[in-house]
Amino acid sequence: MFMLERSDLMLIDAIDRLGTVTKAADELYLSQSAISHAIKRLETTMGVKFWKKSGRNLVLTPAGKRLLTHARRLLPQFEHIEQEISGFKSGVQGKLRIGMECYPCFQWLLKIVAPFLKAYPQVDVDVLKEFQFAGLAGLFNYDIDILVTPDPVFRPGLEFIPVFAYEQVLVVNSQHALLQKPFAEPRDLLQETLLSYPIEDSRLDIYTQFLLPVGGSVRKHKKIENTEIILQMVAANRGVTVLPRWLIEEHREQFDISALPLGNTGIHKQIYLGVREDSDPPKFQRDFVSLALEGKLLQP
């Protein structure tokens, strides 16, 4: 009775990735013939053709494509398991892969990662930006172990832990007229240029929580990658932006900027750590969460 093995998945992955059986054989430290035989065995035992000849190469059949997508999904998990397991022989070693879904997350994360790295010298930390992993899917696929995000998903199988509360404030030039007011109202932005990180409007709080509910808008909206550049432009009176208050406090000295709340209540957000509800995750992973929670206490 045949069993699809990891080696079969590696086979189909390598052939597709490298284009030819010969190159795949090379990568897998096998002969071309070995691969050819393996293909035959796989296809006959499963009773399904995964490749067909096209010229002098092999191309995937629909069944093959399907198997490939599963291979692409599972193989990294095997690698991750091996990494994790080999950690058990050499002490506490391991790797913590953190995915981030928001810009302020990164700024906050930097503050937490530093003490963690110090406390766990044997643990590697990988910080993945949004485009390098697939959000929730990344968590479940074991591409990442921790998801840092402002949008929690409270569903079975997941745990989202609030670790940091902050207020989103409107950042303006220090001489800006708006600073006369105790807080900004949507209509105050009608003539302003909004500067933001390059993400969809639907994920910007100023739209979802401030402008859209009352049909407000801005004169212009410019998207910029870099926080410093954004602040520089605000300081130069080229626009306004929305950022966490604590981030602004840290740049007060450097830039000629001030901040005021959005609306009379202000926009309040939380950063959450999302983790899988795993049966016994590595200790350093739980410890990272604890450390983040301690940080929460420190940051009033």
Partner DNA sequence: CATAAACATGAACAGGATTAATGGTTTAGA
Partner DNA sequence: TCTAAACCATTAATCCTGTTCATGTTTATG
DSSP string, 145-173: SEEEESS----TTEEEEEEEEEEEEEEEE
- List the x/- string, 21-40, binding to DNA by CB under 7 A: xxx-----xxxxxx-xxxxx
26: partner contacted, choices a second copy, DNA, none (Cβ within 5-8 A by kind): none
8 A C-beta contact, residue 258 and residue 152: no
Helix (H/G/I), strand (E/B), else coil: 224? coil
Burial grade of 274 (CB within 10 A; 0-12, 13-18, 19 or more): buried
220: partner contacted, choices a second copy, DNA, none (Cβ within 5-8 A by kind): none
> What is the spatial distance between Cα 171 and Cα 173, in angstroms, rounded to a whole number?
7
CA dist 249 → 99, 171, 196, 259 (Å): 26, 11, 18, 9
Closest distance of CB 66 from DNA, Å:
19
34: partner contacted, choices a second copy, DNA, none (Cβ within 5-8 A by kind): DNA
> What is the spatial distance between Cα 230 and Cα 223, in angstroms, rounded to a whole number?
9
- List the x/- string, 245-284, binding to a second copy by CB under 8 A: -------------------------------xxxxx-x--
- List the x/- string, 50-79, binding to DNA by CB under 7 A: -x-xxxxxx---------------------
> What is the spatial distance between Cα 102 and Cα 164, in angstroms, rounded to a whole number?
13
36: partner contacted, choices a second copy, DNA, none (Cβ within 5-8 A by kind): DNA
Chosen residue from 26, 32, 34, 84 binding a second copy by CB under 8 A: 84
Chosen residue from 18, 34, 92, 134 binding a second copy by CB under 8 A: 134
Chosen residue from 37, 52, 155, 286 binding a second copy by CB under 8 A: 155
Helix (H/G/I), strand (E/B), else coil: 79? helix
8 A C-beta contact, residue 146 and residue 97: yes
Instruction: Return residues touching a second copy (CB under 8 A).
Output: 1, 3-7, 10, 29, 46-48, 62-63, 65-67, 69-70, 74, 77-78, 81-82, 84-86, 88-89, 134-141, 151, 153, 155-158, 276-280, 282
